[in-house]
Amino acid sequence: MVMLQAYSGYVLEIDLSNGKFVKKSSAGLVKHYLGGKGLGTRLLYEGVEPTVDPLAPESELVFANGPATGTIVPNKGYIVCFKSPLTGIYASSSSGGRFAVELKQAGYDALIVKGRSRKPVYLWIDDDQVQIKSAENLWGKDTFETNDLIKEELGDDEISVARIGPAGEKLVKIAGIFNDYSRTAGRCGAGAVMGSKNLKAIAVRGTKNVEVADIEELCHYAEEINDLIDEEMFSYRKYGSPFSVSIVNELGVWPTRYWRKQQFTGYKNITAPTINIKVLIKNKACLSCGAHCGKLCGVKSGKFAGAVAEIDFETLWALGALCENDNLASIIKANELCDRLGIDTISTGNIIAFAMDCYERGIIGKEETGGIELVWGNYEAIVEMVEKIALRDGLGNILAEGVRGAAQKLGKDAEKIAVHIKGLEPPAFDPRCLLGAALSFAVADRGACHLPGSLYTWEVRGRINPHSTEGKAEFLKDLEDRFAVCDSLILCRFVSRDIYTWERLEALFPPLTGLKIGKNELKRIGERIVTLTRVFNTVNGIGMKDDVWPERFFNEPISEGPMRGRSLRREEFNKMLSEYYKLRGWDENGIPTSKKLDELKLEDIVLKKIIAAQR
């Protein structure tokens, strides 16, 4: 097939068990899956049995960039697709920074890593040259040290290094993959999969040009997008995602005290204006993006002086409000430790708050904590527990399994208070107050996740009624399909949500790739990608029984604040869920039907696996 513009045209597959690598054409897949999440998901499904142990040598990591990568169009970075050791189902996690650009310029639309090295190694991809190099001297080093040592060894400060920290080496199930210091593919445990392969890092340097179909027209398009960012995303430019702290807290939808309350009394100490005045060092941006929403922050004095991290809304919540911690310096320090040691801040904060709840309820005591007082707001304990989780030290060895795994090990009714969906800890929005979010997080392909649908945004902004079920399923399906396309290009979620309408996505393809793809066909491609992730999960036993919030959200009304008395109502939730399944062409148990698979022209390999699962 003739390769489209804006693609490299190849997939690089590396088997660490035998040290062999092979280049394969990507041309036959990109028209149906675009790139990024679509291409990565298709390659993952093709390459492994969905029932494989996530930490087995046969498991795979698929790093994929998109057609927008390395171009003037505001874009994000790479996405890695894998089977999660935290949830046991499909997972994808994305990261910004230059790693995707270097991989694209080296000549690859995707990188597949499989097998397991006998000793610690790292990959060095220098255009067409691929080497597997010893990482024994790097094992045990944090992510910052690893980055610097590899660049020093290779004598090139311009390379990009995706690497894991000690948490990934120790198979902590919330370990992430880090690049460009603070850029992170954080959720679902990709770092543990990398660690299970004895793969410390992937260093990439590419020097090839990324050719587009019409550079002049694409420049005009990119200029228009950045103008829209200036007009419609002023708050992100000035404050980044932390600008949402005051909004959601005042609405009474910001969980604190591990989901017992929905407003945080200490929120003013961790708001965006406070950050800008007290700790902001500089704004950061992904490639070609005018939003500059990254906020690099530093602690100037006190116990945590010298700590530096890129703070965002979810981290402020998880390591702050959820634990009733309003000490901004400690949040920055805890975030820095997460980045250095290599763990996801959202899951980490959820896990520590869960442990605090268990401590208050008497499920664990000082004997289990090693004397640490896990009381609400104890910021020193929070920082200490980050390190213990990442290093599997003491109680941290149990908590490193994630909330679901830790609750199972602790017993004593811990499972009754554990908050997760399909094993993944949720983000910062209470489903009892936001019914669209309740549905969106419940059906998300990787568990309790806000990114595939992001329906909560329209509810929080007051654009749709958060307390109504009407139209939520239809709205969610359209968002999921659109964001699947955006994640395949790969485009930032903030910009995708506010700027990249179906019409603007349709207008992007001719100058970018030379291919004209109509809006209806783009919707079909998005639906194809969403359905394929569901197929992967269906083979792993996922169905209606799993698309649900923990019982406490149905049984425990909100006790105070503007949303007092609200709880999830099972009949309302099930109504939305049934409507969603019907719109998706899935049966009453949430399994894609053969008719829908045929309609989406999914390959025989998919049909065979889904039919086997239905039996």
Domain parsing of the chain, residue ranges: 10-205, 234-410, 435-614
Match 């874009």 to its residue by tokens. 75
Q: Positive or negative CA dihedral for 583, 586, 588, 594?
A: positive
Q: What is the DSSP string of 199-212?
A: EEEEEEE-------
Q: Could you tell me which of 321, 202, 336 has the C-alpha nearest to residue 269? A: 321
- Of the candidates 327, 326, 350, the residue with the CA atom closest to the CA atom of residue 338: 350
Copy the structure tokens of residue 580: 């969603």
Domains 10-205 and 234-410 share a fold: no
Q: How is residue 593 annotated by DSSP?
A: P
Neighbouring-strand partners of residue 130: 125
Q: Are 36 and 135 in contact (CB under 8 A)?
A: no
Burial 572-583 (b: 16+ CB within 10 A, else e): bbebbbebbbee
3-state DSSP assignment of residue 239: helix
CATH number of this structure's domain 10-205 = 3.60.9.10
d(CA 203, CA 442): 36
Residue-level pLDDT at 611: 56
pLDDT at 566: 92
Can you tell me the distance from the alpha carbon of 179 to that of 198, in angstroms, rounded to the nearest whole number? Answer: 18
Helix boundaries (H) for 376-471: 379-390, 395-399, 402-410, 414-417, 435-443, 456-460
pLDDT at 290: 73
Tokens of 551: 């019982």
Q: Are 436 and 464 in contact (CB under 8 A)?
A: yes
Place of tokens 């009714």: 413
List of the chain residues with pLDDT < 50: 1-2
What is the second-level CATH architecture of the domain 234-410?
A: Orthogonal Bundle (1.10)
> What does the DSSP 8-state code read for residue 415?
H
Can you read off the two tokens belonging to residue 602?
A: 């999914």
Q: How far is CA 183 from CA 112, 179, 295, in A?
A: 20, 5, 12
Is the separation of the CB atoms in 79 and 487 below 8 Å? yes
Check if the beta carbon of residue 164 is closer than 8 Å to that of residue 201.
yes
- Return all residues near 130 (Cβ < 8 A) that are at least 6 apart: 12, 14, 21, 123, 124
Q: Give bridge partners of residue 592 from the DSSP assignment.
A: 586
CATH topology of domain 435-614: 1.10.599
What's the N-to-C CA distance of the chain in angstroms?
Answer: 37
Q: Which of 361, 449, 375 is nearest to 410 (CA)?
A: 361
Sheet holding 308-311, edge to edge: 280-284, 294-298, 308-311
Helical spans, DSSP H, in 48-109: 99-106
Please report, as a single letter, which amino acid is at residue 43. L
Give all strands (DSSP E) within 279-371, no chain letters: 280-284, 294-298, 308-311
Does this model's pTM top 0.95? My answer is yes
- Point out which residues pair with 202 in neighbouring strands: 123, 162
Closest CA to 318 of 372, 250, 241: 241
Pairing of strands 129-134, 121-126: antiparallel
Separation of alpha carbons 477 and 33, rounded Å: 18
Q: What is the rounded distance in angstroms from the CA atom of residue 610 to the CA atom of residue 603?
A: 11
289-337 residue pLDDT tens: 777 788 999 999 999 999 999 999 999 999 999 999 999 999 999 999 9
Burial class (CB in 10 A: 0-12, 13-18, 19+), 475: middle
Is residue 66 helix, strand or coil? coil
In this predicted structure, what is the pLDDT of residue 475? 97
